[in-house]
A and B are shown apart, each in its own frame.
Chain A
Amino acid sequence: MSVLAVLEQRPAPDGRPEWNRMSFETVAAAQQMADELNTSAVAAVVGQGVEALAWELAERKLAAVYAVEHELLREYTADGYTAALRQLIERVAPRVVLFPHSYQVRDFLPKLATAMGRVAVSDAVAHRIDSDAVVLVRQLFQGKVQVDVRFAGPAPHFASLQAGAYRAERVAEGQAAVERFVPRLAPGDIRTRPLERFRENGRDVDLTAAEIVVSVGRGVRDAANIPVVEKLAQALGGELAASRPICDAGWLPNARQVGSSGQTVAPKLYVAVGISGAIQHLVGMKGSRTVVAINKDPRAPIFEVADYGVVGDLFQVVPELTAAIKKLK
């Protein structure tokens, strides 16, 4: 009854598969959980031509590494991945199956769990073992409430892990045997046809190069109020950025979006104005050296990643801050 880590790869620009770096966080979590449950960790990677990646795992502390290979798995499809992983899981019979909470996993994990009569605990941030049972911690209501959840039904138990919840550098070294696993798949099993991946043109704003980023969120309430924050960015000599809702509403172009679906920035100074700090935004900026948050809600999760916070009305605080900075220059 092992702990199985299902890793994620995707084709690099040259077409060869490369790791999604979150995969190693999943390996670290699986090793830790396996130790605590007195069992072993195993890992699987799905695709076509993934044996080279599987061999990279041969030097980690894993009881087995499965290269799940099939030509119908070359491109990701929910149907293909579900059918292949279901066969692997039935063969390996793990106790717990862990995944990185990536966009791809969100697309197929609920289907896989349902097909096997289970419910996956998605986006877990931590775990503990209580009387030999796995208890997972999840965040609700944009991080304002946390819950401990427990699996009520029989194994296997499925969970996906939030980016950054486990540390990839904690992966333990060791020796692992690599096994090729070829699932039974027929072209008719796959109902969707994915086309080429592409990036939008006109991503002309490179926020990653900016030393100072001033980012605006929902708190600004209206497109007409954006200049209040823009003036602060100008005074600081920084780039203006935004959280997702602002770009969704068309108040600023998508190219200025920071977060999991936008750009990832790590400037010297990041000023978050009227941003509550949903995890999708935090993953895009938490590497910043100094973070300032201005928000009217003292319980907003942004204050957890901020170094300095001002709790107050942005329409009063931001103009004063702009004036105070102008005085310096």
Chain B
Amino acid sequence: MKIVVAIKQVPVRDSELRIASTGKWIEEADLVYEANEPDAYALEAALQLKELHGGETIVLSAGPPRALQTIREALAKGADRAIHIEEDLGALDPLASARLLAAAVRTEAPDLVLTGLQSDDLGYGQTGVILAELLGLPHSTIVMQVEVREGGIRIRRELENGWYRYVDMPLPALLAIQSGFGKLRYPTLMGIKKARTREIRRLTAADLGVAVESASVVIERAYVPERSKRAQLIAGSPREAAERLVEKLRFEARVL
């Protein structure tokens, strides 16, 4: 089975974010980046499927040169080769990002395309589904399990409030993977060594014949939200804070 897995690089979760001087995006200098967590699970799903059914796993990532680090990590975890679209997605809308990815996926004609459910930065949660529509593929989102069967796949989707559902789908297809799909693996030393020899195909938007622009949805202003409600913060050393908190819970909130 030939699988393309799309991975985005995002700022690490506890980054201190500042608004850029343009007032339309965050200041990207000095930030540390990592693989978007849901995408790391999409890679995990791809690697597990490869272990079971053989074939090839191709990592696809669009981003500036720093994205190479995330691509190399995916190769070290076991992906066979990679495609790096050397374009800064920044605050592009999800259709613009998906157009770039779709053009690259078309050059591979895979059986399965995997993405994470949503990104930890923009959080639209749309790129995978849009990609499926652009490629003319059936899709499922919030996927927790994939079973290859005669004539296609049976996936397990998560619904709300602890409900699930199996869905039968033909191949080729696109799946947006939910966090928690299996246990994330770490790169091994051997994997890191092997990754150095693996192919990373570099493409630009021009190579793919795609314009890099968000035509439909525009970010007008980015800002740090005003706090609607502020918790009563309890200061002091850990012991003082703990004792004051217990006082408050007993005599003010009366919950103890």
Q: Is the CB of A111 within 8 A of B248?
A: no
- Indicate whether B93 reaches chain A with its CB closer than 8 angstroms: yes
Q: Is the CB of A309 within 8 A of B232?
A: yes
Known: A198-B164, A325-B246. A309 touches B233 (CB 8 A): yes
| Residues of B participating in the A interface, judged by any CB pair closer than 8 Å | 11, 13-15, 17, 19, 26, 93-95, 98, 120-126, 129-130, 132-134, 138-142, 158-170, 179-180, 183, 214-225, 227-234, 238-239, 241-243, 245-246, 248-250, 253, 255-256
Question: Which A145-167 residues sit within 8 Å CB-CB of chain B?
Answer: 145-153
Q: Is the CB of A196 within 8 A of B125?
A: no
- Indicate whether A290 reaches chain B with its CB closer than 8 angstroms: yes
Interface size on A, residues (CB 8 A): 91
- Indicate whether A320 reaches chain B with its CB closer than 8 angstroms: yes
The majority secondary structure among interface residues of chain B is mixed
Q: List 5 A-B contacts (CB under 8 A).
A: A141-B123, A148-B221, A308-B253, A317-B238, A320-B239
Given contacts A106-B142, A264-B161, A307-B232, 16 further A-B contacts (CB under 8 A): A78-B139, A109-B129, A113-B130, A119-B93, A119-B94, A142-B13, A143-B225, A145-B222, A147-B222, A191-B169, A195-B167, A250-B183, A290-B249, A320-B242, A321-B246, A324-B246
Q: Is the CB of B220 within 8 A of A328?
A: no
Q: Is the CB of B120 within 8 A of A152?
A: no
- Please name the residue on chain B nearest to A284 by beta carbon: B161
- Docked Cα-Cα span, A153 to B215, in Å, equals 7
Q: Is the CB of A308 within 8 A of B159?
A: no
A233 to chain B, nearest CB (A): 14
- Docked Cα-Cα span, A236 to B246, in Å, equals 11
Known: A262-B162, A308-B245. A244 touches B133 (CB 8 A): no
Q: Is the CB of B255 within 8 A of A290?
A: yes
- Indicate whether A311 reaches chain B with its CB closer than 8 angstroms: yes
- Please name the residue on chain A nearest to B14 by beta carbon: A297
| Residues of A participating in the B interface, judged by any CB pair closer than 8 Å | 78-79, 102-104, 106-111, 113-115, 118-123, 135, 138-153, 191-200, 203, 212, 218, 236, 244-245, 247-250, 260-264, 268-269, 276, 289-293, 297-298, 303-313, 316-317, 320-321, 323-325, 328
For B123, list chain A residues within 8 Å (CB): 123, 138-142
- Please name the residue on chain A nearest to B138 by beta carbon: A191
The 10 closest A-B CB pairs, nearest first, are A248-B180, A309-B231, A320-B242, A119-B216, A110-B126, A306-B231, A110-B129, A191-B138, A316-B238, A321-B242
B48 to chain A, nearest CB (A): 15
A201 to chain B, nearest CB (A): 11
Choose among A123, A148, A263 the residue that contacts B219 (Cβ–Cβ < 8 A).
A148
B171 to chain A, nearest CB (A): 11
Q: Is the CB of B245 within 8 A of A310?
A: yes
For A193, list chain B residues within 8 Å (CB): 167-169
Q: Is the CB of A199 within 8 A of B162?
A: yes
For A147, list chain B residues within 8 Å (CB): 219-223
- Please name the residue on chain A nearest to B170 by beta carbon: A191
Q: Is the CB of B246 within 8 A of A200?
A: no
- Please name the residue on chain A nearest to B164 by beta carbon: A198
- Docked Cα-Cα span, A122 to B219, in Å, equals 13
Known: A139-B225, A304-B230, A307-B253. A200 touches B164 (CB 8 A): yes
- Please name the residue on chain B nearest to A130 by beta carbon: B220
Q: Is the CB of B166 within 8 A of A195?
A: yes
For B122, list chain A residues within 8 Å (CB): 140
Q: Is the CB of A303 within 8 A of B230?
A: yes
For B221, list chain A residues within 8 Å (CB): 147-148
For A320, list chain B residues within 8 Å (CB): 238-239, 241-243
